[in-house]
Amino acid sequence: MSTFDPDALECMAAIVEEGGFERAAQRLSITQSAVSQRLRALESQVGTVLIVRSRPLKPTSAGRLLLKHTKMLRLLRADLERDLKELAPSALGGACEEERISIAINADSVATWALPALTGLARQGLSVEIITDDQDFTHEWLREGQVLGCVTTLKQALRGCKVVALGAMEYVAVASPAFAQERLARGAARGRSASDRASTSLLSAHNFRDMHFVAFNRKDDMQSEFVAKAFGLKRVTLNQLFVPSSEGQVRAVLAGWGASVVPRLLVQGLLDQGLLVNIAPTYTLPIQLYWHCWNLESEVLDALTAALKQAAASSLMVGRV
């Protein structure tokens, strides 16, 4: 099998990760012409195109394989870096730009429990890159070889990977007190039985269509899933606004944009202070999360897995789904 030039592999990875030749050149501190030459040499060696020159740039199937290979080499170097630091702590500097260890984590986990989990490793000098996406799609980054691990809702282990159950994140429906009073309270009793009216739930099967829900993005089906399961409906269509940030969703709700289904971990303090109200307190939606990573012998992967498991055990609902 051919031996590939590590500089050429990192050049191809930089093009994909940075989204273009110019930014790849800036990251690698070489000219854009040198970037093109390295990629052409690698494509000539492999015998096929590795990157589709589209907008945005995309790796081909062969390119994805080499991208995964490049990230495996980074992982091996990161393991070596840790071992050498133990033997000679003053002999090595920090990791360089191209040594980043990339993982994909859903935005809600980043906003709540995942960053504290990784703080110790970051302080030890591990060069981590976190890529955020919806929890139902983070595994695609791993499948394509662009990250070495991901937090996702997918239970089945991907090919060549191992999986660890982390626990469930509990979601609740919230709104500002003013929004709840103006948009929900006055119509909460409409079409409901006497026993239903005695409950404290403001959101009902009869009024959810009359309000806006603040969702993360168009991939986010959390809002509709919550409403459908809470009221036993097969299909739900919502009026949605989109704010691509977990913290941004909460700020939008506080500002009265509408209601939103968000992690209890993110809003419990605001609920306790009365700044938000739970508009469906009789129902919560638990979303089971899993950590997937390449099935390799690696101290770095083991450290990441242990850190995420420990944080999840203290923050998520473990064994209660």
Question: CA separation (Å) from 100 to 17, 38, 56, 103, 187?
Answer: 11, 20, 22, 10, 53
**In the predicted model, what is the mean pLDDT of residues 78-100?**
61
Q: At what angle do helices 61-87 and 299-315 cross, to 10 degrees?
A: 90
pLDDT of residue 57: 86
If pLDDT is split at 50, 70 and 90, which confidence band does 159 have?
confident
Residues 321 and 319: their CA atoms lie apart, in Å, by 6
Domain 6-160+289-315, CATH number (from 1.20.120.1200, 1.10.10.10, 3.40.50.2000, 1.20.1300.10): 1.10.10.10
At 105-128, the pLDDT tens digits run: 999 999 999 999 999 999 988 888
Query: For every residue of the chain, which 3-state class applies, written as one string?
Result: CCCCCHHHHHHHHHHHHHCCHHHHHHHHCCCHHHHHHHHHHHHHHHCCCCEECCCCCEECHHHHHHHHHHHHHHHHHHHHHHHHHHHCCCCCCCCCHHHCEEEEEEHHHHHCCHHHHHHHHHHCCCCEEEEEECCCCHHHHHHCCCCCEEEECCCCCCCCEEEEEEEEEEEEEEECHHHHHHHHHHHCCCCCCHHHHCCCCCCCCCCHHHCEEEECCCCCCHHHHHHHHHHCCCCCCCEEEECCCHHHHHHHHHCCCCEEEEEHHHHHHHHHHCCCEECCCCCCEEEEEEEEEECCCCHHHHHHHHHHHHHHHHHCECCCC
Q: How many CB atoms lie within 10 A of CB 210?
A: 11
Q: What is the CATH number of domain 170-286?
A: 3.40.190.10
pLDDT of residue 99: 63
If pLDDT is split at 50, 70 and 90, which confidence band does 191 have?
very low
Q: Are 177 and 252 in contact (CB under 8 A)?
A: no
If pLDDT is split at 50, 70 and 90, which confidence band does 86 have?
low
If pLDDT is split at 50, 70 and 90, which confidence band does 189 have?
very low
Question: Hey, where are the domains in the chain?
Answer: 6-160+289-315, 170-286
Q: Are 280 and 202 in contact (CB under 8 A)?
A: yes
